[in-house]
Amino acid sequence: MSYIQRPLKPEVQDQLINVEPLHQIINEYRDKGDKDRRTPGAVMDALMEAGVHRIWVSKAFGGAHLSLPSGMALIESIARQDASVAWQMGVQGALSRLSDYLPESSAQHIFQDHSRLIVGVVAPSGKAERVGGGFLLKGRWSFASGSAHADWLACAAVVTEKGQPVMTDAGPLTQMLFVPKKDYRLMDDWYTTGLRGTGSNSFEVNDVFVPDEFTIPGPDLLAPPPERPSRAFGIGYYDFGPFTSAPTTLGIAQDALESFREMAVSKVPLGGKTPLRQSHTVHEKIGYAWSLLLSSRLLIENAASHAIQDGYSGQRLSALIRLSASTTARNAKKIVDIVHTLSGATSVYEGDRLEKCFRDINTAAKHITLAPASIEMVGQFIMEEELLIRR
């Protein structure tokens, strides 16, 4: 069914990033990554050598600076091989947007002078005490996808003075802080239903000094990064994030559809006489599933087009992006549910490709950028013209 796959965009087709060798090595180690709860080093080394973890970083900082549609197509193509690998590359895409907010010298040091991953969490689970020239950081954070292959940690914290949170009209003031690998400790706690190969462990930081130049005020991330020659994108950090996670869900859905098609060629249901591929019921449901996949692609690509070309920002754009990403994830989950049900008992066994798709999509869809709560918040925006992250 390659004729209705998302086509790779020119920057990828021209082999700025050669995807075929990457697909082969990712697929080869797919089961091992799931078993080990981390992507094997051979896979991650190949991805980093190709620059996939820096696809949305400015060329000024050593990145590929692919277009938003090209990067989305690349992540989806990786997710068709292994959702865990694609998820980590999507996270790198999201965290790489911080390079446009950091001082240029700091961005160059983190993203160009160091070649491995940057992992982290935007939920302010720590405390950053103001001290001379920076902050004293302490806390524990969860979900550091790609932790096994990282050089830097980016983590959000509540700013404190004399131990007390610094308050603003919007609530506690937050800060995003970057910490090198030597200054944080990983916890081995990633035992999950799906996306097992992401190695999304928790981590701790205990009273580590972080200089001002390696931090970003939290409120700055609510707006587009400041204009400068090195800026890769003028899209706000939180508006960019959903574009890095939604493509993985589409890749999982397509993996499920293609895996089912291969299985349906020969599988005959118990008591039946013909293979699944000849069933009229299967035909209708698979046609519907493909319609969900293609319409979801159009939806998220439409949001990307507005983010890049129309030039408007603010709550209207944020609402469109959130609605598009959450609907994409919801539809991808429907697709996997359809083929998982049609496959019968075959897909209940660990190691079956559809079984992995089922686990991965149900884990990915819980991420805050894809969760149903975003649809609820957009509904409130439509009715009351107020856009919240969550109630």
What's the CATH number where 337 sits? 1.20.140.10
Domain that holds residue 123: 117-217
Torsion of CA 88, 91, 95, 96, to 10 degrees: 70
Say what the pLDDT of residue 38 is: 96
Judgement on whether residues 250 and 363 belong to the same structural domain of the protein? yes
The answer to the question of residue 223 being in a domain is no
Question: Which amino acid makes up residue 190?
Answer: W
Judgement on whether residues 154 and 25 belong to the same structural domain of the protein? no
Say what the pLDDT of residue 313 is: 67
Measured between alpha carbons, how far is 376 from 391 in angstroms, rounded to an integer?
A: 10
From the list 62, 27, 120, 22, the residue with the least C-alpha distance to 356 is: 27
Query: Which structure tokens are listed for 183?
Result: 């200054």
**Residues, the chain:** 391
Judgement on whether residues 96 and 126 belong to the same structural domain of the protein? no
Characterize 292-323 residue by residue with b for buried, 16 or more Cβ atoms within 10 angstroms of its Cβ, and e for exposed. bbeebbebbbebbebbeeeeeeeeebbbbbbb
Tens digit of pLDDT for each residue in 356-377?
A: 999 999 999 999 899 999 999 9
Judgement on whether residues 95 and 10 belong to the same structural domain of the protein? yes
Measured between alpha carbons, how far is 82 from 329 in angstroms, rounded to an integer?
A: 17
Measured between alpha carbons, how far is 175 from 198 in angstroms, rounded to an integer?
A: 26
Please say if the pLDDT value at position 2 is more than 70.
Answer: no
Neighbouring CB atoms inside 10 A of 53's CB total: 26
Please give the average per-residue pLDDT across 124-137, as a whole number.
96
Say what the pLDDT of residue 8 is: 67
Query: Are 293 and 257 a contacting pair, CB within 8 Å?
Result: yes
Phi, psi of 195 (to 5 degrees): 50, 40
Q: In this prediction, what percent of the chain has a pLDDT beyond 90?
A: 82
The answer to the question of residue 71 being in a domain is yes
Say what the pLDDT of residue 201 is: 96
The answer to the question of residue 377 being in a domain is yes
Judgement on whether residues 94 and 123 belong to the same structural domain of the protein? no
Radius of gyration of the chain measured on its C-alpha atoms: 21
Tens digit of pLDDT for each residue in 258-292?
A: 999 998 888 887 777 788 888 899 999 999 999 99
Query: Which structure tokens are listed for 157?
Result: 């914290």
Residue 352: half-sphere exposure toward Cβ, Cα within 13 Å: 19
Number of domains in the chain: 3
Please say if the pLDDT value at position 387 is more than 80.
Answer: yes
Neighbouring CB atoms inside 10 A of 336's CB total: 27
Query: Are 362 and 241 a contacting pair, CB within 8 Å?
Result: no
Judgement on whether residues 27 and 166 belong to the same structural domain of the protein? no
Please say if the pLDDT value at position 310 is more than 70.
Answer: no
Judgement on whether residues 73 and 211 belong to the same structural domain of the protein? no
- The most distant pair of C-alpha atoms in the chain lies apart, rounded to whole Å, by 77
Measured between alpha carbons, how far is 128 from 252 in angstroms, rounded to an integer?
A: 38
Measured between alpha carbons, how far is 42 from 293 in angstroms, rounded to an integer?
A: 31
- End residue of a domain, out of 35, 70, 100: 100
Judgement on whether residues 34 and 139 belong to the same structural domain of the protein? no
Judgement on whether residues 145 and 201 belong to the same structural domain of the protein? yes
The answer to the question of residue 73 being in a domain is yes
- Beta bridge pairs of residue 187: 202
The answer to the question of residue 226 being in a domain is no
